[in-house]
Amino acid sequence: MKMYVTDIFPSSLKNKLTNLDKFSKKTILQNELVSESYGRHIIEGNNIWRLEPNFSQNIFWIKTVYKNDLLVDDTDYKMLNVTSQLPVNYILTKMTIYEYQTDPKSKLKLVVECLNEPVPVTQQNIFFQKNTNTNTNTNTNINTVTVLVPINFYFIYDNKTIDISDKFLKEEINVFLMHLN
C-alpha cells in the first residue's frame, strides 16, 4: 500500500535528504524500461521483472494527517519474472531509490525515488561534485557528475488495512513529515 503526500513537491526534497540519514536506510539502484509493446520492466541487479497491474484500483484520501493530505493507493501489481524477451524500443530511466524506516522492524517505509542525471562539470556548477561520481564521456572528453534529482516519494505500509487512528502509525508518519516540511 502506497501513501502519497499531496502537498509536498518531490523537488523540494533535494536539500532535505540529509536530514533523513539518521534513520535506517536502504539504497536500491534500479533501471526502468518502458515500452509501448511490452509495458513496464524493472531491472535490479541481475533480476528483471515486468509489472502487470491488477485493474481493480483501490484509491482513497486521508485528510489532514499533521497538516498534510495523503492519497492512498492500494492497487496491486504483479511482478512477473522475465527470463527471455526484453523490448527493443524502450525508454530507459536510471534511478536510485532510498527506503527509510524509523526502525528496521517498522511496517512503514518512506521511499524517495531519484533520477540519476548526468551533468557536465563546468565552473558554474562545480558544487555538484560533492558526493557524486565523476565520469568522462570518451566521445566528447567532457567530465560529468551524476546528480540525484528527487522525482517521487511516498510511504509504503506493509499491512492489509490502514488504521490512521493507530497512534504508532501516525507518530511514524509525523516523524518523517517533520523532516520533509
Question: What distance in Å separates the CA atoms of residue 160 and residue 72, rounded to the nearest whole number?
Answer: 12
Q: Is the pLDDT reported for residue 97 higher than 70?
A: yes
C-alpha cell at 131: 558526493
The per-residue b/e assignment along 152-173, b for 16 or more CB within 10 angstroms, e otherwise, is: ebbbebeeeebeeeeeebeebb
Please report the sign of the dihedral spanned by the C-alpha atoms of residue 88, residue 152, residue 102, residue 159: negative
Domain definitions of the chain by residue range: 2-116+148-180
- The percent of residues above 70 in pLDDT, for the chain, comes to 87
The pLDDT tens digits of the residues spanning 77-94 come to 888 898 877 888 999 999
Nearest residue to 61 via CA among 48, 43, 42, 74:
74
Nearest residue to 14 via CA among 92, 104, 112:
112
Under the banding of pLDDT at 50, 70 and 90, the label for residue 117 is confident
Higher pLDDT, 137 or 179: 179
Under the banding of pLDDT at 50, 70 and 90, the label for residue 141 is low
The pLDDT tens digits of the residues spanning 15-60 come to 888 889 889 889 999 999 999 888 899 999 889 999 887 777 778 8
Higher pLDDT, 99 or 62: 99
Higher pLDDT, 15 or 128: 15
* pLDDT for res 14: 84
Question: What distance in Å separates the CA atoms of residue 116 and residue 20, rounded to the nearest whole number?
Answer: 19
Contact 155, 3 (CB under 8 A): yes
- Gap between the terminal Cα atoms of the chain: 22
Q: Is the pLDDT reported for residue 95 higher than 60?
A: yes
* pLDDT for res 121: 76
* pLDDT for res 43: 92
Under the banding of pLDDT at 50, 70 and 90, the label for residue 132 is very low
* pLDDT for res 181: 79
Topology of domain 2-116+148-180 in CATH is mRNA Triphosphatase Cet1; Chain A (3.20.100)
Q: Is the pLDDT reported for residue 128 higher than 50?
A: no
Contact 160, 6 (CB under 8 A): no
